[in-house]
Amino acid sequence: MDATALFKFSSGLYVVSARADDGDVGACVINTGLQLTSKPLQVAVVVNKQNHTEQVIEKAGHFALAPLTQTADMPFVGRFGFRSSTDFDKFAGIQSDVTGNGDPYPTEHVAAMVSCKVVQSLDVGTHMLFVGELDDARNLLAEEPLTYAYYHAILKGKTPPKASSYIPEQARKQQEHASHVGVILSGRRFGSAFLGIAQRLTPRVACHTSPLPHKAGGG
């Protein structure tokens, strides 16, 4: 199996962030964020359990999600994607705002922001999937969203080990030659995880979905 085929799936890059009642703040870049339903408006995010942000979302019970735009350069992506919130203030020195729930989010290099209350969570192995119901949504910048394909092809970005789409270099090289030598790499964990998600979320996902309604405002 060549798991690099998943790089062809269209997805974006997002900053997910949260602040718990004890003041603990977490923010990181994820590539798994999507709208699930329109009534009620719900989105899902998938965050690595080893990320401090995952722990903060669990404590807080809410989060902010902001899609990055193509104006974001690697230093900006790296600020949120390659450093830990435990030893670095990711919002220091950049433009940001706070949701009604108290979650900070960047206001530069992001197209929009949605604020969510966690209504369901699911352990999918290395990651936690959080389903959030929207309590606010704002359009911010009229820029093209940054896709994962653009990140790899144009920005020449790398996939950090904690990303849900990360493929170890050795495994990637094996996959590139799999068709020649008949090597079958282990993909069972990936498959069972998504089977579990489907079983748990099917009643919600099956309903009609439509683009998020545009809500003017900012700041």
Instruction: List the one residue out of 87, 90, 89, 106 whose CA is nearest residue 98.
Output: 106
Q: Cβ distance 15 to 29 under 8 Å? A: yes
The predicted structure's pLDDT at residue 178: 36
Q: Is residue 189 part of a domain?
A: yes
pLDDT tops 90 at residue 53: yes
Q: Is residue 210 part of a domain?
A: no
pLDDT tops 70 at residue 179: no
Q: Is residue 107 part of a domain?
A: yes
Q: Please report how many Cα atoms fall inside a 13 Å half-sphere around the Cα of residue 152, on the Cβ side.
A: 16
Cα angle 50, 17, 190; round to 5: 45
Share of the chain above pLDDT 70, in %: 70
d(CA 48, CA 84): 13
pLDDT tens figures, 129-161: 999 999 999 999 999 999 887 877 776 655 544
Question: What average pLDDT is seen over the chain?
Answer: 78
Q: Is residue 151 part of a domain?
A: yes
The overall pTM is greater than 0.95: no
Q: Is residue 212 part of a domain?
A: no
**CB count in 10 Å sphere of residue 122:** 17
Q: Is residue 214 part of a domain?
A: no
d(CA 135, CA 32): 20
Q: What is the CATH number of the domain that holds 143?
A: 2.30.110.10
Residue 124's domain comprises 11-205
Q: Cβ distance 26 to 55 under 8 Å? A: yes
Q: Is residue 137 part of a domain?
A: yes
d(CA 110, CA 180): 42
Count of domains in the chain? 1
Q: Is residue 6 part of a domain?
A: no
Mark 154-182 as b/e (b = at least 16 C-beta within 10 Å): eeebebbebbbbbbeeeeeeebeebeeee
pLDDT tops 70 at residue 190: no
